[in-house]
């Protein structure tokens, strides 16, 4: 017995196309996959373009969202074309991690540089607190729940070092 991979309807009177989808689903499945592919193409361009951190991260999110829709079809055994949705998701994850790491590193580095250049311990600490604030704003803006404590630790250690140098 043949069964449609999309709606799971089966029986002798259900005829399937070349990818195993019934006539009822065929057009809809084709159009959806085509739409998701075009959206992915659009967002991947923005991901690789790297105009700004926030636009890159937004594009990663959107491309992943569309790729997840393709995964739904792939799980049903319906081919969705190249590259595979999982490859798209991996690519976006990789870009996202790299951009996040670079941005957080830059915030910490700038904070420490500003702090070193500051004239008084109070100003030095203010520069570090400013960097800590930038970190938390960045986490909020990009919906990062898992905070990278390694970066905050570095800044907190700098404040401790300043405090120790005073006493």
Alpha-carbon gap, residue 154 to 128, rounded angstroms: 10
- Contacts with Zn ion by CB under 5 A: the residue count is 5
Contact 126, 96 (CB under 8 A): no
Stretch that binds Zn ion, among 22-30, 108-116, 138-146, 152-160 (CB under 5 A): 22-30
Among 2, 11, 19, 22, contact with Zn ion (rule: CB under 5 A):
22
Cα–Cα distances in angstroms (integers) from residue 62 to residues 34, 43, 143, in the given order: 16, 7, 14
Structure tokens at 106: 């830059």
Stretch that binds Zn ion, among 14-22, 39-47, 85-93, 136-144 (CB under 5 A): 14-22
Comparison of 11 and 41: residue with beta carbon closer to Zn ion: 11
Comparison of 32 and 64: residue with beta carbon closer to Zn ion: 32
| Interface positions, 24-43, toward Zn ion (CB under 5 A) | 25
53 in contact with Zn ion (CB under 5 A): no
6 in contact with Zn ion (CB under 5 A): yes
Mention every residue, 6+ apart, whose C-beta is less than 8 A from residue 81: 33, 37
Question: Which 3-state string (H, E, C) describes 101-145?
Answer: HHHHHHHHHHHHHHHHHCCCHHHHHHHHHHHHHHHHHHHHHCCCC
7 in contact with Zn ion (CB under 5 A): yes
85 in contact with Zn ion (CB under 5 A): no
Nearest distance from residue 137's CB to Zn ion, in Å?
A: 48
* Nearest residue to 97 (alpha-carbon basis) of 49, 140, 150, 53: 53
Stretch that binds Zn ion, among 4-12, 51-59, 121-129, 150-158 (CB under 5 A): 4-12
Residues found near Zn ion in the complex (CB under 5 A): 4, 6-7, 22, 25
């Amino acid at each position: 017995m043949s069964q449609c991979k999309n709606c799971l309807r089966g029986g002798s009177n259900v005829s399937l196309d070349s990818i195993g989808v019934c006539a009822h689903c065929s057009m809809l499945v084709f159009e959806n996959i085509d739409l998701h592919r075009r959206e992915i193409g659009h967002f991947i361009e923005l991901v690789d373009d790297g105009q700004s951190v926030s636009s890159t991260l937004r594009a990663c999110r959107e491309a992943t969202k569309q790729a997840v829709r393709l995964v739904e079809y792939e799980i049903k055994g319906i081919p969705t074309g190249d590259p595979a949705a999982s490859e798209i998701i991996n690519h976006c994850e990789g870009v996202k991690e790299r951009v996040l790491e670079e941005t957080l590193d830059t915030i910490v580095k700038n904070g420490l540089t500003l702090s070193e250049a500051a004239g008084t311990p109070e100003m030095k600490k203010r520069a570090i607190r400013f960097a800590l604030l930038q970190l938390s704003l960045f986490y909020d803006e990009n919906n990062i729940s898992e905070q990278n404590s390694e970066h905050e630790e570095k800044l907190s250690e700098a404040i401790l070092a300043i405090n120790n140098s005073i006493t």
